[in-house]
Copies of this chain bind each other. A is one copy, B any other.
Amino acid sequence: MELIDGKKISLQLQSEIAEEVKTIVSKGGKQPHLAAVLVGNDGGSETYVAAKIKACENVGFKSTFIRHTSEVTEAELLATVVKLNNDKDIDGYIVQMPLPKHIDEQKIIKAVDPAKDVDGFHPVNVGRMVLSLPSYISATPNGIVELIKRYKIETSGKHCVVIGRSNIVGSPMSILMAKNNAFANCTVTICHSKTKDISFFTKQADIIICALGKPEFLTADMVKQGAVVIDVGTTRVTSTETKSGFKLKGDVKFDEVAPKCSFITPVPGGVGPMTIASLLSNTLLASKKVIYK
């Protein structure tokens, strides 16, 4: 069993990005610039945005942080989006989700210039991904594909079972793993809440991507010997073992599943850390105008 070390790969990616930025800037090129918009003061969102800004500094990006109170109107937030679309120095930006209930998230997402949509949430980028056209792929799916690449996990002709059909993980992963390229070419099954017997499918799987958000859902009896298991779940559960009083739990019962696996991602330290590297990587692509000219 080999542990997939997302933390290590993420840092490796970030140092590669930092190198490239150094070269670009030393040749007089443009320093990549990411903006992050935060609405309200949800603890989780604060932490995520702070981590993204910090990561920008680490790799030599310029960053801009825009904060709105949770009372911001949809029109005001849209005005910020338009301003960011028009700001020539900003290569890409994110509007941290979730947004307060009085704001239509899809309306905001659709207002983002697809060329600056480094979160890959805009329908144009989702559609381009499906059609195998160049696009920004959203952070988690992008991170998972990168882990598969870096660990040289064999995928062609393998049966990949994706659990969960969310717009941000399950659905795009099922699409990406079935594509005709060297890091995909899987036969893909997508399972979800309406699947009658998920274990029937997971037992057949060479690769399992678990993204349903149910702590310790995937148990050893559901997994074939030698399977690759990617755990996307991150549920906060209360714990007496940590100072904070909580612990991050994955969708996989790690202790019993790991011994059966050829590769497995831990939680924390697996897929999670990859999301920041994905965002930086998309921002670099935006700055270099690789996807949109």
Contact = CB atoms under 8 A, between A and B. Distances in A.
A187 interface: yes
Given A133-B123, A174-B174, A175-B175, A185 B194 contact: yes
Contact of A187 (B157, B185, B195): B195
A213 to B, nearest CB: 15
A29 interface: no
A132 B166 CA distance: 11
Interface of A: 106, 122-133, 156-157, 165, 167, 171-172, 174-175, 178-180, 185-196, 201
B192 A190 contact: no
A211 to B, nearest CB: 13
Which has the most chain B C-beta neighbours within 10 Å: A156, A171, A189, A195? A189
A174 B179 CA distance: 12
Contact of A196 (B133, B157, B191): B157
Contacts of A189: 187-190
A175 B129 CA distance: 13
A194 B157 contact: yes
Nearest to A128: B123
B122 A127 contact: yes
Instruction: Output the residue of A125, A131, A187, A193 with the most chain B CB within 10 A.
Output: A187
Contacts of A193: 180
Contact of A127 (B125, B186, B194): B125
Given A126-B127, A130-B167, A174-B178, 9 more contacts: A123-B123, A123-B124, A123-B128, A131-B167, A157-B194, A178-B190, A180-B193, A187-B201, A188-B189
A191 B187 contact: yes
A188 B187 contact: no
Sorted nearest first, the 5 A-B pairs with minimum C-beta distance are: A127-B127, A123-B127, A126-B127, A185-B194, A189-B189
B157 A178 contact: no
11 contacts: A122-B127, A123-B124, A123-B131, A127-B127, A130-B130, A130-B175, A165-B178, A174-B174, A185-B192, A186-B194, A187-B192
Interface-centre pick from A106, A127, A133, A193 (highest chain B CB count, 10 A)? A127
B178 A192 contact: yes
A221 B29 CA distance: 62
Contacts of A201: 187
